Structure 1
Amino acid sequence: MRCRFSIDPGLRKIESNELVVYDTELSEFISRKITRLKTLLKEPVLHAADVTLLIERIQQANISDPALRAEHVKQINQK
């Protein structure tokens, strides 16, 4: 996919050793990374408590109210 980062040009620079993962590919990317790490490491990559904590943090950061989400998008588009 082609995209344009609508942010400050100084923050837009992506080095050749950095990776952009699109939202539609994120879960597949994470699964591939975990599978690869499992073959390299003897210990689990994430323990159940770690996964639970990550899920809770994502849910807390998510804007689920449609009105608040619309306001959030409006503020982003104004910048």
Structure 2
Amino acid sequence: MVEISEQPEVTLQDFVIPAKIEAFCEKYKPLGHWREDCDMFTDYQLRSYFKAVVCPLGDPLALYLQELAVRGFKMKDDECGEPVIYAALR
């Protein structure tokens, strides 16, 4: 008799923490362009904020960026040609 234990399949979504998205959205409001009073989030800064580390299943930052875009935080090319998200403190 062989017993097969079913383990839930791990997906990239398992590496996304919705509470971190909520916290970001509660602290910042999206901006469409740079202003003196705004923060600029690069790929590196977003990866650090969300602790989004590339894993064998893919890059969880892609899922964070999708969810942020739905909430108005869209990546724009800055003057240096690097995509960034512009946001201001609420």
TM-score by length of 1: 0.28
User: When you count helix as a share of all residues, which structure comes out higher?
Assistant: 1
Greater share of residues in strand = 2
